[in-house]
Structure 1
Amino acid sequence: MSTSERSQSLTHLARLGFSRLAEAEAQLVELQGLLGLERDALTGSAAHAADPDAAVSGLTRIARRDAGCVRALLADPGGRRALWALLGASTGFADFYLRHPEELAHLAGADASLPSAEHMHTALLESVGAKDGFAADGSDTSWVALRVRYRQLLAAIAAFDLLSASPVDQVGIVAARLADAAAAALEASLCVARTRVAAGGPGAGAVSRDQVAGTRLAIIGMGKAGARELNYVSDVDVIFVAGADDALIEEVGESRVVDIATRLAVQTMRGISGVEIEPPLWEVDANLRPEGKQGALVRTLESHLSYYDRWAKSWEFQALLKARPLAGDPELGAAYVAAVQPKIWTSAARENFVDSVQRMRERVTENIPAAEVPLQIKLGPGGIRDIEFTVQLLQLVHGLTDDRIRQRGTLDALHALVEQGYIGRADAATFSHDYGVLRLLEHRVQLRHLRRTHLMPERPEDLRVLARSSGIADSGEKIWQTWETVKREVRDIHVRLFYRPLLSAVASLPEQERSLSPAQAHDRLAAIGFMDPVGALRHIAALTSGLSRGATIQRHLMPVMIRWFADGVDPDYGLIAFRRISERLGGSPWFLRMLRDSSGAAERLTRVLSSSRYVGELMEWIPESAAWLDDPELLRPRSGVALQQEARAIQSRHSAIADAARAIRALRRREMLRIAMSAILGTSTIEEIATALTTVTEVTIQATLRAVRREVVPAQDEALDFSVIAMGRFGGSELGFGSDADVMYVYRPNGVDPHRAHELSLQLVSGLRKHSEDQRVPLDLDADLRPEGRNGPVARSLEAYIEYYRRWSLSWEAQALLRARGVAGSVKLIRAFTELADDVRYPASVDPQALREIKRIKARVENERLPQGADPARHLKLGPGSLSDVEWLVQLLQLEHAHRIPEMRTTSTIAALRAAQAADLVPEASADRLAEAWRLASRLRSANTLLSGQTSDVLPTDRKKLDGIGRLLGYPPRSATQVEEDYLGATRRARRVFEHLFYG
């Protein structure tokens, strides 16, 4: 061959996928000589080989031994394609054909179809000369014949698989055929075992052929073999069950029958996996039997059932999910499977069943060697086990009451779970596709050397071969990327579905609640806490009736959610609110999907709805807020910056003040709801909630003021400065749910006619009040803390404030300014007002008469401002030791000492108290008691509003309401007395401190 011809030849080989070109060229030249074939006849099917170099190397070795067999097969187009595909994907098959070149003849036409289960069963029984359950020969020769015939059939399956246009889609069919082949091999090996035992094989003793024939042995397939999902080289998990007719048991005794069956089982296993002339097929693993390796290899059906009734662990029932008769006595096998089925499908009701399954999956991952974790196709995170465990757990939990999802196969079960609404279509489609990809990768890495492995290769050349053999990528780099993508998808879905609380809740439902008649349901609802069981049944029926997918999912959710509602404060209201929200979101598929699939959204929704009418009423207006329950970050109050940006965007979109104000009110409602849900679910502290409520109020006032000003103040009067000053708890950033927003209004004409400036300011105040009004979530802008109170002007100029405070200010007005803080309008004007306020509220010296007046006013407030008939001890705002005691004491200390102690110059009650403590004005223990009472009163006040949806400053006497308030504060159920005692005790202690420091 000339240099030019050699170069062209090597180039052609490179195009076909060869990489070791010189070596391949030499082997092809040798093959031409051995076979007498032209080059094209040899390489015409090389493109079907994942690794052409390995294929030509194997082909050369086989041809050296038997050129005739190779030549005959290559003459058949289908056989030629099958041979190149097999040898290019599997050095194991190259070794097999090197040992048995005559078997090549069976590859003719192997690319066209799969061998049927019946064909394989017949072929393997023929290989051992089986007749009436016995093999013709009990020698090792029969086992060799069995193994050779099995690999002949395996090659036909592999050839079909490798030459398939879409191997991912064929994974289920191929895996089923592999399981059928394994079952047939076990049947044939059992025939040999009967012959060996009856002929006095090793350790057989005196066993007659009739005794062997009368002994029934059922081989139950477990795991992938039972589910017809077997790999090319996988352990075949089995359980052996013994039995016999009454005559034989009477003749030899049950223990003797078990002994004979045990010998049959041992010989059957040896025929498959013992070390003989022909290599073993696979490991027959009987470790899933009762007591595992320590237990008897073979038991009677009664012994198995006794064990499962008394001793079996949860994982053993999970394993039995895939149990199927594989070989041996079909009636005994069917009886075994039928007997264990009820035990499988009630196992999820065992205590902590779901936790045990979850923990078992975690242990599997923990036991993987660290170096193998990123390579594990089967056991690692995002691997096959994640899909299998997820599907099995869903089956076992929901299969308690739904026999439509009781399937052995993973894909069959996945399809049933989708059809019955237990898993979303998108998640199931991803799982199904990714399962196919993972199983295909597993098949291909096992075919490579016909060896059991579940590890992705790491070497680039091995990844390239895997890419070509699988057909799911065109390079080693891309198949690795595909593998990583699949792992991420699988892990994400697994974590969401496998660990969702709904599973534990369904599994722990009492048996009597899984299926109830209407009368029983009525009684059960009443028993678990529903005050109106008739109404509850009506709402349940409305949610679950019909054939829609939504109604199907609601039927799955309802038993558990009813339980969760019953655990809440007001289950009746919670259920009503849930129905209303469900109806509002009826056309939104994400809602029910989220409740079913989320890691806790359903439970959180029942909790907020049954705990708070405030939340329930708002959620009816903003039903899409349910989505927040699936993401803890969405339940966190949003920052002031984010809210300001949204508010400004609203103003830019809406030129009409009514439209802008409507959008701003919607923003406030939404954020108030978010904060309320956060408060109930405990994702924010009391301080964070107060700050968030204050921020939302500030942003609402700022945005509304901008919109009103744009309409009220004409361009020629634009110089007018106007600001809103927060007072009281608003000024202290201490708002609770239902708190008024105390404010004052200040303006500065800046060249605008003073009368005109005053009129415009009043219009701004009027517009601000009008457009911030919200019947759904009231926002009361209360200006009663202004100079002269209700008798004074609603808005004053800065100069008027200066003049007033210089000439006529009363002590209580200086006290009120201690919490003044600018929140909206002109920044320069706010700064000027703050300087004025500082001069008044932090005086260099305080007139003793002014202090006496403050104390006198405080005493009068206690006597005169309490609502008629109210119990002072229960008033959260004005009662002894409550909010006003703490705030008045702190404010008195600020008036006296803030001028010399800068740290006390704050609008925050607790910050000022701690500054006073640091300055030794208040003992630490006293400060702690005051802070405890103030915080508890604040929390109780907010909780009261959240519970009832109405504002109240009085601690209820109703025990149910008290219990509900306590639950919102984190108390256990039925803690009404404890809540009451804690509050009264805290305020008594605070009152003693107050009287000592305030009046002392």
Structure 2
Amino acid sequence: MTSAPGRRSSTFTRLLRHGFTDPSAAERLLDGPELTAVRSDPVLLDALGATADPDLALLGLVRLLEAQTGAAARQELLDTLISAKPLRDRLLGVLGASTALADHLARHPSDWQALVTYEPRDLHPGVEEFERCLASATDPVSLRVAYRRCLMSIAARDVCGTTEVAQTAAELADLATATLRAALALAADAAPEDAALCRLAVIAMGKCGGHELNYVSDVDVIFVGEAVGGADEDKALRAAARLASHLMRICSETTVEGSIWPVDANLRPEGRNGPLVRTLASHLAYYQRWAKTWEFQALLKARPVAGDLALGEEYVAALQPLVWQAAERENFVADVQKMRRRVVENIPADEIDRQLKLGPGGLRDVEFAVQLLQLVHGRADVSLRSGTTLDALRALAAGGYVGRADAAQLDDAYRFLRSMEHRIQLHRLRRTHLVPQDEADLRRLGRSLGLRTDPVASLHREWRRHASVVRRLHEKLFYRPLLDAVAQLAPGEARLSAEAARERMVALGYADPAAALRHLEALASGVTRKAAIQRTLLPVLLGWFADSADPDAGLLNFRNVSDALGKTPWYLRLLRDEGAAAENLARVLSAGRLAPDLLMRAPEAVALLGDGDGGGLAPRSRASLEQEILAAVRRADNAVQGVTAARGVRRRELFRTSAADIVGSYGTESQPAEADQGALVDLVGGAVSDLTAATLAGTLRAVVREGWGDTLPTRFAIIGMGRFGGHELGYGSDADVLFVHEPRDGVDEGEASRAANKVVAEMRRLLQIPSADPPLLVDADLRPEGKSGPLVRTLKSYEAYYRRWSLAWERHALLRAEPVAGDEELGRRFTGLIDPLRYPADGLDEDAVREIRRLKARMESERLPRGADPKLHAKLGPGGLSDVEWTVQLLQLRHGAGEPGLRTTRTRQALAAAREAGLVSEEHAAILDEAWVLATRVRNAVMLVRGRAGDTFPTQPRELAAVGRYLGYGPGHAGDMLDAYRRTARRARGVVEELFYGGV
């Protein structure tokens, strides 16, 4: 039947006004024979326009009418639809929100009558009502049909607003409970002999256990079994496993009606590798001995739902005490937070911005934060033990564990995000937590949530707002009440008790919670601008401190810095306004002793942490450092003041380098630690070496200026040796040097020698003046004749000595020689003098190679500390620095004359050149490079953590954990770090055995 053009135009306009996006198609459906009797009834059009998707609702209605068996059935549906508003709203609401349920109604056209029985005044249906609805099911297919019928009634109340989101989630969990019971009954009917042998309890976990299930979700369960009477336990457990497996198949397998949902039992002890059914005693033994923190967290939601409920209650009662002791486990908070980070890291990059559940600011952030607080405080406060997120959040707010305003915002955000999740899943009844990208899907989603004006834009705006609230509060939730407890600025507000605050600090890893709370009180109390800003910063800072190996030190150091700089306007503004600065500061202050000690003596260096692109932490060039130090020396009144100024620059720049190293190793919240470890080692080695060279240049200038004015009677140069010459100094390395001079024209050699020796003596004296700064020890023991030889020689004296007397070890040591300060021309001439010695044209004969091997063995036997574990000694142990460096240097001595790339003082560059020249295989080069980088990082880490140099891992647990954190190992993984070091060193030693000791 075709309408007149005028009527079509009028209807077309009305359809647009009622929210139809395809009015032409809608007109055709309205003009079809199914709707002949009601096509002009305005009630129908208004009701369609009120749905989430009027086009979808109309199409679903036509399909349902077409599916009715006979004219009488069709007319009954139409009459009821027009006359009964509650049914009309429910039925069209479902059809406009869910194509999957429209498909179900098209297959089962009489099921619409299930929507007649529920009115807004009806009580929330529970498990018993759903069990009655499912009672007629005799097989998996009929159970599936009955389940969908019940699901449709839940969806109808949901989309019409008869129930709110938490009640809908609880109804879905109750329907799942009834379904599990029905499935277990079917399984028992199919195997009565198995049912007679055992008691089987089904424990709901996850969202089903927490009474907050989604429309489409795996239903997580744990099975507990016991033998009946005198039945053999093994036989009974096998029977219980068969029943449990059959239950899972009934719910999970695909039938002509599809499947219900997967039953997931992987939360059981040992996961999918463990037995499907265990006895209660077996469960208890596992949780007492083997369970990880996340397993106790999962047990928060454990609830008996099917089978032998008495056995299920015994299970929960037996395990509950263990759940509430979980917060006492070492690294408890770190474990929970690590689990959360791991979840986020596993989200595909193209999905993270669409993730409602797992992404930052998603549902899981709320759930994890609430569960963490429950586990910390639930042992003492039974009111916190609900498995339902929103109920637990209310209890936390009522007890003062969470601020009421924060709890209200989180509750609001969680409800909105869960509503979005429900409506997204309801459309096709598919398990997804991704916000759709299609415009039509977004429009339907927005309208389903009541956003009728520009629904797509409104949806995005509301979603982002709520996600932002969650992101902001999910960390703050844990720490803000601590500040309220100590600052006491909100009279009448429920707040943490002293004991609850102490419990929370212990859970965060604070060894001295009383002292930590005193620091918080000092920082956050009062009405000053400083205290107000610090109350804003501290919740986030406390989280970063807790992520470190030593939260106590982090908080104490922050208090000390704030006491020193708190009245400086730029300091708090920097931390408040520049996102990276506060996190960088927290990482630096809690990473060990060296960087905080440096900062305490120069608090203004905090400003280096605030450069948004990281430029503030980038090492400065040697030229710019030398320029600054020399300018400071010129301004000084005497040599002591000049060297003090140089040491001040050194202190600041050591802080810059150590901070860059820490931030690069730990990463930040927005930039996880993915830095190339070799690049970090090169950065530190180059920066510290350049800084040492500039400091020596400044000290030399100060001494010469005070003793001789502008010109020394002799040209004077300092040659870097060892790791100094190789640009590989660590934070605690001595500066190995040689001193060389050459009399100026017309100057007596004796006078020149006396001047040169006086310069050296004065430099060493000034650098050894006691100071709180890290010492700079100048070591000249690699000079000709060692400690018994003169401290400084002329260039001619060096030439004569090396020509006649040089030993193998001296030629070897010269491989790392490089001018670092003083007369540049003299330095170049010294380099020209020694090149033929360190890169001999004829290579090395067998005797020379044998002597080098003998020297290495002697050095290691004499210098390895007594009682030290050689396998963990980063310098002298197997596969350590000495092994790698001597192997590379032997290659340089043998092949440097013919391979220009080997003529470098830097170990990694020489190794790369040897690889390029084919002297070392790719695999061997990679193994040696990895070992050298790791050993260097261990030494740097020890200095950063302990504030003093060391070549082996600390024995004190907290220091060892801090070294592990720097090297990328989380809490509780110090043993993994040591195993990895031994493994890396062992592989390197194998290469050394082949390259250094194998053959000539």
TM-score by length of 1: 0.56
Mapped contact 2:95–2:102 kept (Cα < 8 A): yes
Aligned alpha-carbon RMSD (Å):
6.0
The code of the aligned residue for 2:83 comes to A
Mapped contact 1:87–1:94 kept (Cα < 8 A): yes
CA distance in 2 between partners of 1:684 and 1:391 (Å): 37
Shift of 1:876: 6.3
1:184 to 165, 171, 178: 178
The code of the aligned residue for 2:166 comes to G
2:288 match: 309
Shift of 1:443: 0.9
Shift of 1:291: 3.8
CA distance in 2 between partners of 1:881 and 1:218 (Å): 70
Shift of 1:25: 1.0
1:122 match: 128
User: What does residue range 604-753 of structure 1 map to in structure 2 within 5 Å?
Assistant: 606-607=552-553, 618=564, 633=581, 672-675=602-605, 734-736=645-647
2:113 match: 105
Mapped contact 1:17–1:47 kept (Cα < 8 A): yes
Shift of 1:860: 11
Does residue 156 (structure 1) correspond to residue 153 (structure 2)? The answer is yes
1:17 to 9, 16, 19: 19
- The C-alpha deviation readout for 1:918-954, integer Å capped at 9, x for no partner, is 46499999xxxxxxxxxxxxxxxxxxxxxxxxxxxxx
Does residue 555 (structure 1) correspond to residue 502 (structure 2)? The answer is yes
Please, which runs of 5 or more residues in structure 2 have no aligned partner?
A: 586-598, 652-698, 700-704, 715-742, 782-789, 795-818, 836-941, 957-1000
The code of the aligned residue for 2:217 comes to S
Mapped contact 2:47–2:89 kept (Cα < 8 A): yes
1:45 counterpart SS class: helix
CA distance in 1 between partners of 2:178 and 2:52 (Å): 30
The code of the aligned residue for 1:88 comes to G
CA distance in 1 between partners of 2:282 and 2:248 (Å): 22
Is the radius of gyration larger for structure 1 or structure 2? 1
Does residue 27 (structure 1) correspond to residue 21 (structure 2)? The answer is no
2:324 counterpart SS class: helix
Does residue 479 (structure 1) correspond to residue 459 (structure 2)? The answer is yes
Shift of 1:467: 1.7
CA distance in 2 between partners of 1:26 and 1:613 (Å): 74
CA distance in 2 between partners of 1:182 and 1:598 (Å): 40
Do the aligned partners of residues 488 and 34 (structure 1) sit closer, same or farther apart at CA in structure 2, a change above 3 Å counting?
same
- The C-alpha deviation readout for 1:418-465, integer Å capped at 9, x for no partner, is 666766777656654443333222211211122333333222222221
Sequence identity percentage: 35
Do the aligned partners of residues 157 and 18 (structure 1) sit closer, same or farther apart at CA in structure 2, a change above 3 Å counting?
same
User: What does residue range 812-961 of structure 1 map to in structure 2 within 5 Å?
Assistant: 812=708, 814=710, 875=770, 912=822, 917-918=827-828, 920=830
2:204 match: 221
Mapped contact 1:577–1:616 kept (Cα < 8 A): no
Does residue 436 (structure 1) correspond to residue 415 (structure 2)? The answer is yes
2:229 counterpart SS class: helix
CA distance in 2 between partners of 1:330 and 1:692 (Å): 75
1:89 match: 97
1:218 counterpart SS class: strand
User: What does residue range 981-992 of structure 1 map to in structure 2 within 5 Å?
Assistant: none
CA distance in 2 between partners of 1:42 and 1:368 (Å): 44
Shift of 1:22: 1.8
The code of the aligned residue for 1:675 comes to A
Mapped contact 2:216–2:431 kept (Cα < 8 A): yes
Please, which runs of 5 or more residues in structure 1 have no aligned partner?
A: 130-136, 507-538, 638-668, 700-722, 741-784, 786-808, 819-842, 867-871, 894-908, 926-962, 976-1000
Mapped contact 2:475–2:543 kept (Cα < 8 A): no
2:61 match: 59
CA distance in 2 between partners of 1:612 and 1:79 (Å): 64
2:222 counterpart SS class: strand
Mapped contact 2:344–2:358 kept (Cα < 8 A): yes
User: What does residue range 250-399 of structure 1 map to in structure 2 within 5 Å?
Assistant: 250=230, 252-275=231-254, 278-347=257-326, 357=336, 360-361=339-340, 364=343, 372-380=351-359, 382-393=361-372, 395-396=374-375
- The C-alpha deviation readout for 1:656-684, integer Å capped at 9, x for no partner, is xxxxxxxxxxxxx99942328989xx997
Do the aligned partners of residues 403 and 594 (structure 1) sit closer, same or farther apart at CA in structure 2, a change above 3 Å counting?
farther
The code of the aligned residue for 1:917 comes to G
1:105 counterpart SS class: helix
- The C-alpha deviation readout for 1:286-344, integer Å capped at 9, x for no partner, is 33233444544333322322333344444433322211112333322211111122233
Shift of 1:11: 0.9
Mapped contact 1:497–1:598 kept (Cα < 8 A): no
Does residue 593 (structure 1) correspond to residue 531 (structure 2)? The answer is no
Mapped contact 2:356–2:434 kept (Cα < 8 A): yes
Does residue 446 (structure 1) correspond to residue 394 (structure 2)? The answer is no
1:982 match: none
Mapped contact 2:561–2:600 kept (Cα < 8 A): no
CA distance in 2 between partners of 1:964 and 1:235 (Å): 50
- The C-alpha deviation readout for 1:574-627, integer Å capped at 9, x for no partner, is 998776445567666325424433456998884378679985862576699589
Shift of 1:222: 0.7
The code of the aligned residue for 1:126 comes to R
Mapped contact 1:445–1:466 kept (Cα < 8 A): yes
Do the aligned partners of residues 325 and 814 (structure 1) sit closer, same or farther apart at CA in structure 2, a change above 3 Å counting?
same
2:200 counterpart SS class: strand
Does residue 408 (structure 1) correspond to residue 387 (structure 2)? The answer is yes
Mapped contact 1:218–1:329 kept (Cα < 8 A): yes
CA distance in 1 between partners of 2:36 and 2:373 (Å): 59
Does residue 241 (structure 1) correspond to residue 203 (structure 2)? The answer is no
1:773 match: none
Shift of 1:19: 1.7
CA distance in 2 between partners of 1:877 and 1:50 (Å): 71
The code of the aligned residue for 1:459 comes to D
Mapped contact 2:60–2:102 kept (Cα < 8 A): yes
1:900 match: none
CA distance in 2 between partners of 1:602 and 1:621 (Å): 28
CA distance in 1 between partners of 2:567 and 2:792 (Å): 41
Do the aligned partners of residues 156 and 125 (structure 1) sit closer, same or farther apart at CA in structure 2, a change above 3 Å counting?
closer
1:249 counterpart SS class: coil
1:220 counterpart SS class: strand
User: What does residue range 195-214 of structure 1 map to in structure 2 within 5 Å?
Assistant: 196=189, 201=190, 203-205=191-193, 211=196
The code of the aligned residue for 2:152 comes to A
1:44 counterpart SS class: helix
CA distance in 2 between partners of 1:552 and 1:615 (Å): 28
The code of the aligned residue for 2:60 comes to G
- The C-alpha deviation readout for 1:494-520, integer Å capped at 9, x for no partner, is 68999x9x9xxx9xxxxxxxxxxxxxx
1:231 to 206, 210, 214: 214
1:935 match: none
- The C-alpha deviation readout for 1:153-197, integer Å capped at 9, x for no partner, is 4333222322239x9xx3222212211222233334444544x2x
The code of the aligned residue for 1:555 comes to R
TM-score by length of 2: 0.56
Mapped contact 2:208–2:219 kept (Cα < 8 A): yes
The code of the aligned residue for 1:233 comes to V
Do the aligned partners of residues 27 and 328 (structure 1) sit closer, same or farther apart at CA in structure 2, a change above 3 Å counting?
same
CA distance in 2 between partners of 1:265 and 1:440 (Å): 32
CA distance in 2 between partners of 1:333 and 1:301 (Å): 9
- The C-alpha deviation readout for 1:758-789, integer Å capped at 9, x for no partner, is xxxxxxxxxxxxxxxxxxxxxxxxxxx9xxxx
Mapped contact 1:377–1:438 kept (Cα < 8 A): yes
1:465 counterpart SS class: helix
Mapped contact 1:242–1:301 kept (Cα < 8 A): yes
Do the aligned partners of residues 912 and 477 (structure 1) sit closer, same or farther apart at CA in structure 2, a change above 3 Å counting?
farther
2:444 match: 465
